[in-house]
Amino acid sequence: MKTKSFHVILLLILCMLLQNNEANAQRRTVIVSNRPTRTTVVVTRIPRHRVVYVNRRIVRPVLRVLPTAAILIAQANSKYYYHSGCYYIETPAGFRTVAPPPGLVVATLPPHFVRITARSGSYLYYGGVFYEEVSGGFRVIESPVGARIINLPEEAEMVTVNRNNYYEFNGTLYKKIQTENGAVYEVSGIIND
């Protein structure tokens, strides 16, 4: 009896050793596709009433006189004045700095602009405004979610949205992120008025 069970165990072990060791249940196949992929970027839009300013700053000062080299740019029945990366509109009290609307095109950017690559493409950045190159100049675009910058403009304000801290400038929310190279600010959303 002992030899019979020994032979059965030996036969089972021998069958296991001779069996094909390849299991198809978890086989992973890599599929390479040469078709272009579509990148979908979801822009997080936050209603303004959900944004809480931690320390509300004073409104930007109004200039009585524009800089001498300011250029007039008209778009959609509005007049903007552009000088060295700053945009102004005329008010009864003088000229107030404003965020430029998307679509506004300027011929030149100040020399210290930065090239930024984000999930959805390559952009130019200066003074809290993102641009894309077009024939004849640079078009103002909506801040691309995921774009990272090293320095925020001085006028950026700390805000809280759903108990999370962000920095807001010109209607764009930036989240401070620590990377191996130090702190950066990532575009996290746009405030809807």
Give pLDDT, residue 5: 66
pLDDT in the model for residue 29: 37
pLDDT at 109 over 70: yes
pLDDT for the residue numbered 174: 93
- Going by pLDDT thresholds of 50, 70 and 90, the confidence category of residue 75 is confident
pLDDT of residue 28: 35
Range with the largest mean pLDDT of 43-47, 115-119, 177-181: 177-181
Q: List, for residues 143-171, the tens digit of each pLDDT value.
A: 999 999 999 988 888 888 888 889 989 88
At residue 94, the pLDDT reads 94
Long-range contacts of 61-66 (CB under 8 A, 24+ apart): 62/91, 62/93, 62/94, 62/95, 62/96, 63/88, 63/94, 63/95, 63/96, 64/94, 64/95, 65/94, 65/95, 66/95
Domain-wise residue ranges, the chain? 60-98
Q: Which H/E stretch holds residue 15?
A: helix 2-18
Asked whether the predicted pLDDT for residue 70 surpasses 80, the reply is: yes
Rounded to the nearest integer, the mean pLDDT of the chain is 79
State the maximum Cα–Cα separation within the chain, in Å, rounded to a whole number. 110
Question: Coil, helix or strand for 19?
Answer: coil
pLDDT in tens, 27-61: 433 334 344 444 333 447 666 656 666 676 656 77
pLDDT at 87 over 60: yes
Please give the pLDDT value at position 192: 79
Q: Residue 17 burial by CB count (10 A; 0-12/13-18/19+): exposed, middle or buried?
A: exposed
- pLDDT recorded at residue 10: 59
